[in-house]
Structure formats: structure tokens, C-alpha cells
Structure 1
């Protein structure tokens, strides 16, 4: 991919912010004679010169660009430039937006949102409004990714038949595991090796009974599922997908939409990672699954967690 990158020297105030934020070290600052170069230092810490007019920038080092082919197209340089002097072909004017920091929630509001978020499994039959589903997806898509790969994709399932297929797959997979664990020939060997797994045998049996009774113990009557997946070759797929999940989860809470992390579905996918993906037309590896629904009620209280464990070094 060819990168188009330049500095508008007429408006650049040489503040060095692009130098300081670029993860690829593409931006440098040099003295006019070219004797001194730095890729890691720009404006000294505490000397915020973003509003200094360009006319007073002549005493600062010139910004130059080296090895633009190493750009990962993260946009840090464009986002950090106070004068719009970084010209990046992937971020034309229509893709650059001013931030009104006065519109951001306060730290107390953000913390309250985190405290209020719970897995609310009391879900009604009402569908999640499309506009709210869109906001949840947009928030998830905005999460950071390793090396700015942006390799995370989303598959939204709202078809009741497909939702049932997800539940059926999970129960069927658990039943196969239960059968192996209870096999009289395998049990004497497996139980000493996997004692923790055997405690799930009654859980698998209970889930199957409730599923056959129509109680939907897997999806809890969720009306939408979001599968978060990446190419199988992506080394940081699990981390990237779960960062996306957290963004989407907080957005769901702020919208009053129930969200539940589908641990049972993911556990089944670990046993059989391909068949459900084929059924849903998903290419790559599924790393996270979010169930969504309109709640019957919202929790009126939040409760304290265990004391935070922090090691100070």
C-alpha cells in the first residue's frame, strides 16, 4: 500500500507533537544545518506550544519525514497536529474531526457506568432497536488493535432460527464432552487428570434439560448476538476482539441494553471451532460473543467488589 504523507511547511509550527506520537518513528526534527536529529523528542514536556503562531516557529527544528512506507496508518500524527499541517492521504479533511473535550463524561460518570454494568439475563422478547445496535458496533469498532491492524470483524445474528442453531450447537457440543467424560473406559484415566472438568458434568446435564424444555439456558432469550472474529492468522486476534467487546459492552450499558458475555458458546467453540463458523458464514476465528436484548428491568443498585489487588513496585 502506497502511503502519501507530507508536511505543509507554511502552516507547521514545528511543535513536534507528530514526532512524539508516531509509533513508527516516521517524523523527525532537525536543526536547519541538519547536524542534530531526534525521532523521539519534540517539544519539551510541559512546554505546550500548540497555539503558538507559525511565525515564532523559526527557532524550532524543522519537521521531516523518513521511511513513510513503514506507516501503519494509525492517524496519530493527523489527530495530534494542532494546525492541520500533516497531510496524510488516508485521512483527508472529511475524516478529521475536532474534539470538544467539554462534551466528554466526567471521570465520576465513567466510573459509575463501569460500576453499573452487569450481565442482565432478564431479557424481554423485544428486538434491540437497529440504531442502538449500530452504536454498539461503532463503539466496538473504535477499540484499539495491535499495530493498528483493524482486523476485527463482526457478525450480527438476529434471525430466531440462527439463534436457535447457536444454542443447539452449544448443547450438542457439551453433550459430546459429557459422554466422553462419563465413558467407563475413559473415566478412570481422565478424572485424575481433569478433576476440575468433571464438576461440569451435572452442569451439562442441567443445561440440556433446560434447553429441551425451551428455557434457553444458553442465550437467555437474547434477540441478537454479535460474533467478534479475526483472520485465523492474526497473532493478537483474541486481545483485539476482547478490547472491542469491552467498548461495545459499555456502550450497551449506556443505552440500557442488556449484554451478556457468551462464555458457554465460546467454551463450545474451543471444542469445535469450525462447524458453527461455517453455519454462520464466518471466516477466521471467533474470539468473543456478545448476547444482547431489551431488559425487563434495570438494576437499581450496584454492589462493591472485592478489594482491588494492586502491587506497588
Structure 2
């Protein structure tokens, strides 16, 4: 049972806890904030984090989980923008292993991403080892090969082609992926040494959004650490069809995002401007 309380002796009546609580847990009585509806609490920790005198206590957040923010470590807006501008999907990797500490920090950054209603239901599967990496690519290519056989079926082809023109255009690409893989060239994971699978329960209302917010956190941390990485779109596309990764690696829930990681064989010394931003202002 979650217990939420306010120390009247320490409280300075700033009412910040009342202001920040997204669930309306707090109310004001006789100019004193009180936990009027603790049953609404989603354990987001906003009240504990905002209290300047540590007057708010919550059993979900013992002292070991509460940390003073160090503003000196925050990047400047210019530094953050430089990181965002220079972040790239880097698919040219050496094959060398990503240091364990880097993987740990990337996972922590992912886990720190916000989740709707503070559900924190996003899960991560870290896959390493050459055989495991090859297995992911093999399962993906096998799925594409099955799709390619279906598209080539003379009975099915005329029925599907009007509705799947873009998919039919990929048939030569599917063939090349398979041919290259048989010759030892992996066009799926590109010499990556680790893969992070991001999953969540299908019944979670914002599972896909939560997972991909998590991915972006991980991406920025990987960039900051100098770790090459990219979004594994082909793996996700195949997984939607077969669910083989779930079974092979014991992954819980639905896979919503995945990141391939490795040590970079090339580094980008420049960033390129994107197309002009499209913004509609309504004032």
C-alpha cells in the first residue's frame, strides 16, 4: 500500500505539490496542502521532486531513490542542439563489441523516458553475441523470403498487385538481401554487435508511443557515447508478420522499436540541414 504524507513542520506552504500533481491528489485545507485523494496517485514522483524542503514523503520513493539535481551537469541549449543536429543513423560498424558500461547507460537513458500515466510498462531485451545477432537477421530474411514467394505466386500475384504496388517494388531488394546474407554480408543488422528490443504490453494504451520515446532517449545517449546505432525497421516489419523474435528470445509483449548498435567504422564531421521546417501558426 502506498502511503503519502506531508510533514507540517517542514512544509513552507508553497503549494507546489498541489500545482504539479497531474491526478489532483493534493488539496488545500486551511492554507495547508494535504493528500486528499491518495488513491488517485500514479506514483509519478512529481510532488516529491518539486518540494523544496523534503516535506512530502512517499513510501514508493525511499531516500535512496531521491537525488538532488545538479544543474552544472545540464547541457546548454546550444550543446543539446548540437547533439541533436549531429545525431545520425550510422550503419557502418567495425564489428567490435560495445562496452558494457555504454550499453548500461544507453538502457538507463531509454528507461528514463516518460510514459503515459507513468505506466513504466516498457521492457528491454539486450541481445549480444554473433550467433544471436545472426539469428535475428536470419529470421528477418526468412520472413521476407516467404513474403517474396507469396508475391511471386501466379495465382496470388494479380490479386495482390493492385493493392501492394510498393511492396512488389521491393522484390528485387528482398532477393539481394537474401543473396548477400548467404554470402556473409548482413544487410539487416550491418555488422552490429548488440541489439536492444523495446517492447510493451499490447493492452497498454500508449505502448507504441512510450516505446519510441524511449528509443529516442537511447539514441541521444548512444550518440553522446560515440556508439553507432540505427533503427531496425526491417526487423520490426518482419516481426509484425511472424512474431518469431518473441518466441526465439522470450520477449514479453509486443515489439514496438529496436536499435542495432556497434562501434563506428566511420565518423561524421559535418551535419546537413534538413528541409525547411513546416510550421503552421495559429495565434
TM-score for both structures, normalised by structure 1: 0.88
The corresponding residue for 1:269 is 239
What CA distance in whole angstroms lies between the structure 1 residues aligned with 2:71 and 2:169?
50
Alignment of 1:122-161 (within 5 A): 122-161=92-131
The corresponding residue for 1:5 is 4
Q: What displacement does 1:14 show?
A: 0.9
Partner of residue 295 from structure 1, selected from 260, 264, 272: 264
1:166 paired with 2:136, answer: yes
Partner SS state of residue 162, structure 2 = helix
The corresponding residue for 2:90 is 120
Q: What displacement does 1:24 show?
A: 0.8
CA deviation map 1:63-110 (0-9, x unaligned): 111120111000000001011000111112221111121220001111
Alignment of 1:108-257 (within 5 A): 108-257=78-227
Partner SS state of residue 167, structure 2 = helix
What CA distance in whole angstroms lies between the structure 2 residues aligned with 1:153 and 1:172?
26
Q: What displacement does 1:16 show?
A: 1.1
What CA distance in whole angstroms lies between the structure 2 residues aligned with 1:270 and 1:144?
25
What CA distance in whole angstroms lies between the structure 1 residues aligned with 2:57 and 2:163?
60
What CA distance in whole angstroms lies between the structure 2 residues aligned with 1:72 and 1:150?
10
What CA distance in whole angstroms lies between the structure 1 residues aligned with 2:19 and 2:167?
50
What CA distance in whole angstroms lies between the structure 1 residues aligned with 2:42 and 2:145?
45
The corresponding residue for 1:38 is none
TM-score for both structures, normalised by structure 2: 0.98
Partner SS state of residue 259, structure 1 = strand
Larger Rg: 1
Partner SS state of residue 287, structure 1 = strand
What CA distance in whole angstroms lies between the structure 1 residues aligned with 2:210 and 2:274?
26
CA deviation map 1:168-203 (0-9, x unaligned): 100000011111111111111111112121111111
The corresponding residue for 2:34 is 64
Partner of residue 71 from structure 2, selected from 73, 81, 101: 101
- Where does the alignment leave 5 or more consecutive residues of structure 1 unmatched? 33-60
Q: What displacement does 1:135 show?
A: 0.3
Partner SS state of residue 261, structure 2 = strand
The corresponding residue for 1:41 is none
1:18 paired with 2:12, answer: no
Partner of residue 249 from structure 2, selected from 280, 286, 291: 280
Q: What displacement does 1:233 show?
A: 2.3
Partner SS state of residue 296, structure 1 = coil
What CA distance in whole angstroms lies between the structure 2 residues aligned with 1:197 and 1:187?
12
The corresponding residue for 1:58 is none
What CA distance in whole angstroms lies between the structure 1 residues aligned with 2:105 and 2:163?
45
- Moved beyond 2 Å, runs of 4+: none
The corresponding residue for 2:55 is 85
- Where does the alignment leave 5 or more consecutive residues of structure 2 unmatched? none
